[in-house]
Amino acid sequence: MHDLVVDVVAVAVCGAVGGFVNVFIGDSGLHLPTMEQGVFRPGYLGVVLVGMVAAVGAWLGTQGSMLTSGFVPSPPVTLRLSELSTAMLIGFGGARWFKSEGETTIFRKAAVIAASKPADGEAAATIATGTPFQALTAANRMR
């Protein structure tokens, strides 16, 4: 059982590393969880946590038969380097998915706000080319 805990912790750390790398992609940067303009931003802690959970969940899914073998003796769970690198990739991918969902919500909110206001060429350019929060800010500043 002790080896399993060590393996899960190692996979979680690799997933956290993958999630942490994802923090620097896009506009989020290294910040703590905040609420801005009515939108929750999970910050690096949320992204890293999602990376950890994704990596551990995927790894446990592949180890299911060894962990729940019941009465049949099964070989001990071993952790390979390929599984650790996969945990990093899954942590990165899970965190990227999480951030994409958040950005989609922000863009939808910006679209709703912009659609309810008169046309503004400068705001339209910012919404089209800016980060999600730049788009939301531009939509809020439209008159």
In a domain, 32, yes or no: yes
In a domain, 133, yes or no: no
Could you read off the pLDDT of 10-60 as tens digits, one per residue? 999 999 999 999 888 866 678 899 888 888 888 899 999 999 999 999 998
So what's the pLDDT on residue 5?
86
Per the structure, how many domains does the chain have?
1
So what's the pLDDT on residue 78?
73
So what's the pLDDT on residue 12?
97
In a domain, 41, yes or no: yes
In a domain, 116, yes or no: no
In a domain, 107, yes or no: no
In a domain, 124, yes or no: no
Could you read off the pLDDT of 68-97 as tens digits, one per residue? 655 555 566 678 899 999 999 999 999 999
The phi-psi region of residue 73 (left if phi > 0; otherwise alpha if psi is between -120 and 50; otherwise beta) is beta
Q: Which two tokens stand for residue 68?
A: 């729940």
Taking the C-alpha atoms of residue 46 and residue 38, their distance in angstroms, rounded to an integer, is: 17
Q: What angle do CA 135, 47, 78 make, to 5 degrees?
A: 150
What is the DSSP secondary structure assignment for residue 18, as one 8-state letter? Answer: H
So what's the pLDDT on residue 76?
66
In a domain, 76, yes or no: yes
**pLDDT band at 62; cut points 50, 70, 90:** confident
What is the residue range of 18's domain? 2-101
What's the rounded mean pLDDT across residues 94-122? 92
So what's the pLDDT on residue 17?
96
